[in-house]
Chain A
Amino acid sequence: MSTKPRWMLVSLIVLSALNLAVAAPSGEPIVLGEIVSQSGPFAMFAAGHKGAQLAVEQINAAGGVLGRPLQLLSHDDKSNPAEGTKLFRELASKNVLAVIGNSPSSVVFAANPLALELKTPYVISMGYTSVFTDKFSHRYFFRTITSDRVFAYAIAEHMAKQPATRYCTIGNDFAYGRSITAAVMGRLKELKPSVQIIPGCEFWVPPGQLDFTPQITAIMGQKPDALMFGGVVAISSDAFVKQAKAFGLFAKMVGVHPSLGMPTNNLGLQKADLPEGIMTGSDYPYPPVDTKANQAFFNAYKGRWNERPYEISAHAYATVFLLAKTIEKAGKVDREALADTLPGMHYTHPSLGEVSIRAMDHQSTAGWWLGYLTWDDKDNVVGLRDIKYMPGTNYLPTAEELRKIRGQ
């Protein structure tokens, strides 16, 4: 905390120096549309907007794109896919160059076909469901974060080396919840055929569910070796972890959750709520990854918004910088030119380093940090220890596999 004022001072000086050195952008702004959940069950995705806004401010302070200022036109989809499609059509009918997506997978699922129909690039920085790029990718669809296949496969490799064979599963009953559960369990069975899900021990709860008592007692009654609860996310995961810990569930079985280290899934947890030592992961782990790029991002974000970044903040921030870089490379402000230039682009993600957009499925090579759940005393948030980076390239489908998935 004590370093904060100093950092703010430094960044202020740097910013003002930049302002003096660089000609202010002029001319008609380049508009990027953004669909973001700011209310409803995924209201925490508003942090994505903050990351995008920060990037726009930094880019404009450094002279803009092609000498023109960048502008963000954001609308709240209220966590509702119907609202999301309406907003996508609205943005596409305006002069926006591309639409950035900071919404849950249900909204992406609904808006994705519209991007093709309306020939408007849709670049998502949230929504990990693998089918988006495996199956439904098209000329105008891009994902700048990893696919759930990456962290599902990474954690399945880890679990395959463990003795556990009898599994129970629980997940929120929505696209991502089912996708991640199927990916982890499917890969695990491939790697270790003796693994099985106990019949009748697969639970699906509505998203946003907060009382898991009957499910927890039912799971404990089945006495499995391990519980895969990676499909329980957002506000549900906080409640589930708390209650499961109180029942001593994690003392009786291994808990498997590949993304509990993500702030979106754990911001409602305090130190006393936390079971120690679960193998999990995040693409924005705490304590913040100690690289120059991440330090700069972390401090700028904290200085701008007076709060810690979520993973979605870093994703949206990286996405805006990627788009700016792509526009510069294309040399013109044009949707078709953007869609032509984005495949193969390299960009820097604060916590994941150098990554690129694959040409074959428009999927980012962004990876995943695996580590053990712990409390980060310095930042006073849920953290990970002994983290290890899993590059996306190790797990993403090859061109051959993609053809198979798409049934070509």
Chain B
Amino acid sequence: MQKETEMVPSLTWLQKLAGHPLLWGLVALLLLCPPFLPQTYVVQMTDTLLFVLLAVSINLLIGYGGMISLGHAAYFAIGGYTAGVLVTQAGMPMLVGLLAGPLAAALAAAVIGLFCVRVANAYFIMLTLAFGQLVYTVVWKWRALTGGDDGLVGVAPPAILLSEIHYYYFTLVIILACLVLIHRICESPFGTTLKAIRDTPSRARSIGIDVAGFKLAAFTMAGLFAGIAGSLYVFHNRGIFPQSALWVTSTDIMLMAVLGGANHFVGPIVGAIFLKTLNFVIPRLTEYWLFFLGVVVLLIAFVMPRGLMDGYDSLRARLKRMRG
């Protein structure tokens, strides 16, 4: 027994990741399926991948830092707009946009985070919401740079990435790399400290942890990854619009994380795929798609208040008990 527990820390992160069979099945599906799918679904899958990264990045705040942000779309938009403006107005290559977008988002997150991490709970929610709206109004009003409500259009990737399937694999590689990176961050001492802060902030403070500093670092990191999603999005979508910074987008991202299960690394991934699929399917079935989406979310809230992954876990535990 003693020996086994000692063994655990020596497991590499890769071995730990291998312990998620669901994840590996998913990755195999994502790699192999697209060539056999109609283009529509490939576009939809690229879009979903970007929101997977958004949901996982916001989970750095919620699941690890206990910070509920309703302004995450702002960093997504800043990343997208920065990349788009550099490419369309300064004539930079795509690579520069892909690097500068996330950096700008991280910078904005660091500045806004400075004010947000000073407060907690409901104040944090409303502050992030209000700052998100501030970013939205700036995007809307700064027409010369952002195109205002017309959006920034005509942002095309280089010829080789114009094909939907090429862009899909390009996105997939970057997103998978980001997911592995975020997983490593979460499993690192940094992630453990964040969890400690989430669960017992006062105790964390009393043992000398710089709570605000850790929270700000998490906030900035989440902004960085949202910026990566944003700068990938702007090339995929050939442009970006102010709505991408609107609080409704933030709520969507948040909902993905919560719906999938914020306590799991895989939860937000499942949540993003689930919600994006619903958003694709329900409007094609009924004009009142919002109503039915609401009913589905409500049902999940009742049955699995901690998200789909939590529900999956308890179901598995129950099956095990039944068998055992």
Interface residues of A (CB under 8 A from B): 38-39, 46, 75-76, 78, 80-82, 85-86, 89-90, 93-94, 106, 109-110, 113-114, 117, 173-175, 206-207
Contact = CB atoms under 8 A, between A and B. Distances in A.
Interface in B218-243: 237-241, 243
Nearest to A43: B287
Interface string B31-64: 0000000111001100100000000000000000
Interface residues of B, number: 28
Nearest to B137: A206
B187 interface: no
B115 to A, nearest CB: 25
Interface in B11-40: 38-40
Nearest to B288: A39
B243 A175 contact: no
B210 interface: no
A81 B151 CA distance: 8
B235 to A, nearest CB: 13
Contacts, number: 70
A190 to B, nearest CB: 24
Main secondary structure of the interface of A (DSSP, over half): helix
A217 to B, nearest CB: 23
A403 B182 CA distance: 54
Contacts of A85: 237-239
Contacts of A114: 238
B223 to A, nearest CB: 21
B149 A113 contact: no
Contact of A39 (B40, B44, B238, B290): B290
Contacts of A46: 287
B20 to A, nearest CB: 30
Contact of A113 (B40, B153, B243): B153
B43 A110 contact: no
Contacts of B47: 86
B289 A76 contact: yes
A233 to B, nearest CB: 13
Contacts of B237: 82, 85-86
A106 B151 contact: yes
Contacts of B141: 173
A117 B150 CA distance: 19
Contacts of A113: 153-154, 238
30 contacts: A39-B289, A39-B290, A75-B283, A80-B241, A81-B241, A81-B243, A82-B240, A82-B241, A85-B237, A85-B238, A85-B239, A86-B43, A86-B44, A89-B39, A90-B40, A90-B43, A93-B38, A93-B40, A106-B150, A106-B241, A109-B150, A109-B151, A109-B153, A110-B241, A173-B141, A173-B148, A173-B149, A174-B148, A175-B150, A207-B149
A117 B284 CA distance: 25
A158 to B, nearest CB: 29
Which of A38, A76, A89, A110 has the most chain B CB atoms closer than 10 A to its own CB?
A110
Given A89-B43, A93-B40, A173-B140, A110 B149 contact: no
B244 interface: yes
A400 to B, nearest CB: 27
Contacts of A173: 140-141, 148-149
Contact of A110 (B40, B153, B284): B153
Contacts of A80: 241, 243
Contact of B283 (A76, A82, A117): A76
Contacts of B39: 89, 93
B38 to A, nearest CB: 7
A110 B239 CA distance: 8
Contacts of B151: 81-82, 106, 109-110
Given A78-B283, A82-B240, A173-B141, 20 more contacts: A75-B283, A81-B241, A85-B238, A85-B239, A89-B43, A90-B43, A93-B40, A93-B164, A94-B40, A106-B149, A106-B150, A106-B241, A110-B150, A110-B241, A113-B154, A173-B140, A174-B148, A175-B149, A175-B150, A207-B149
A113 B239 CA distance: 10
A159 B140 CA distance: 32
